[in-house]
Amino acid sequence: MNTETMPDSVESTRALLKRGKYVSDQNLATMLFLSLKLGRPLLLEGRSGVGKSELGMVLARELERPLLRLQCYEGLDASAAVYEWNYAAQMIEIRLAEQDRSGDKDGLAGELFSERFLIKRPLLQALEETGASAPVLLIDEIDRADEGFEAYLLEILSDFQISVPELGTIRAAKRPIVVLTSNRTREIHDALKRRCIYHWLDYPDAAQEAEILKLRAPTIARKLTESLDELVQELRQAEFRGGAGVKAAVEWAATLIELDREEMDPKETSAGIAQILKRHQDGEVNAVADALARGAE
């Protein structure tokens, strides 16, 4: 695999992201560059839909590295995130050994807890990647996991190693690039934050939004770009629950392009708002659409 050279400056980091159709500001590019340069995890916090997970995926694609993604959820534990033993295979091995009475029972005990019976999950896979380059490890929505799982991550994030009682300590031959994301549904513990380069990622401003639309939907008409940009900015100022995400805005732009629209039809504004906010086209959505239409008059 021919891996892309790591960026050697903030500007080259920004350019790398832009090649992947990801628009970043100077602050984000700086934090990402420091994370790559220092070999430390990058923790991105921000509201849903601002592009936190997308950054990790773009980084893997543009650096031509494998992506390992761990989606966090309540109750996530080591068996789903790090490793577990293949108990079914171990039981078969025991049954076979019982039939072979000449077998070495002491040797069997050690064999049962060898790597042969180890099922590797994303965190362990990231440390044991044997390819040309270390992978990008995306730990998504860490705030959804329990605090106990955060504590488990500390060894991995600080020393890039995992302790498996039956096997000992497994260390990364090549440090993975680690990106963690959080929607801040709860406060992340300071111990985890101290092990990371931290950045709060906000919604893009109007100029950045227009640039994103041009990159992701290059055939979009200028007037339509301006109308969509204005609509999205208005929705964010209204602070709807869930927010007007960047990806949803791009999807609505693609829809309008497929419908051969060169400008926003006021009759479709409610549908557009519902699509961007990912919610039912109810009275509140229609009221916002009417208010925006009156403001444009």
Contacts of 224 by beta carbon, 8 Å cutoff, 6+ apart: 253, 256, 257, 261, 262, 263, 264
User: Is there a single domain that holds both residue 95 and residue 153?
Assistant: no
Per-residue pLDDT at 279: 61
36 and 178 housed in the same domain = yes
- Look at residues 203, 207, 188, 208 and name the one whose alpha carbon lies nearest to residue 139: 188
Is residue 3 assigned to a domain?
no
pLDDT digits (tens, 9 = 90+) for 77-136: 999 999 999 999 989 988 888 887 665 666 676 688 888 899 999 999 999 987 788 999
Same-domain check for residues 45 and 71? yes
> Within this chain, do residues 71 and 186 fall inside the same structural domain, yes or no?
yes
Q: Does some domain include residue 4?
A: no
Copy the structure tokens of residue 271. Answer: 């549908």
pLDDT tens, residue by residue, 241-268: 556 778 777 877 887 787 787 777 666 6
b/e per residue 255-277 (b: at least 16 CB within 10 A): ebbeeebeebeeebbbebbbbbb
Task: Report if residue 57 sits inside a domain.
Answer: yes
Q: d(Cα 178, Cα 117) in Å, to the nearest integer?
A: 27
Parent domain of 21: 10-78+121-200
Predicted TM-score (pTM) of this structure: 0.83
Residues 183 and 103 grouped into a single domain: no
Tell me how far apart the alpha carbons of residues 6 and 37 are, in angstroms, rounded to a whole number. Answer: 9
User: Are 263 and 283 members of one domain?
Assistant: yes
- Do 170 and 252 belong together in one domain? no
Q: What letter represents residue 259's amino acid? A: L
173/215 same-domain check? no
Treating both helix axes as pointing N-terminal to C-terminal, what angle do 206-216 and 222-238 enclose, rounded to 10 degrees? 130
My answer on whether 145 and 246 are in the same domain is no
Higher-confidence residue of 208 and 248: namely: 208
Q: Are 144 and 175 members of one domain? A: yes
> Which residue in 273, 245, 271, 243 sits closest to 259, CA to CA?
271
Instruction: Name the domain count of the chain.
Output: 3
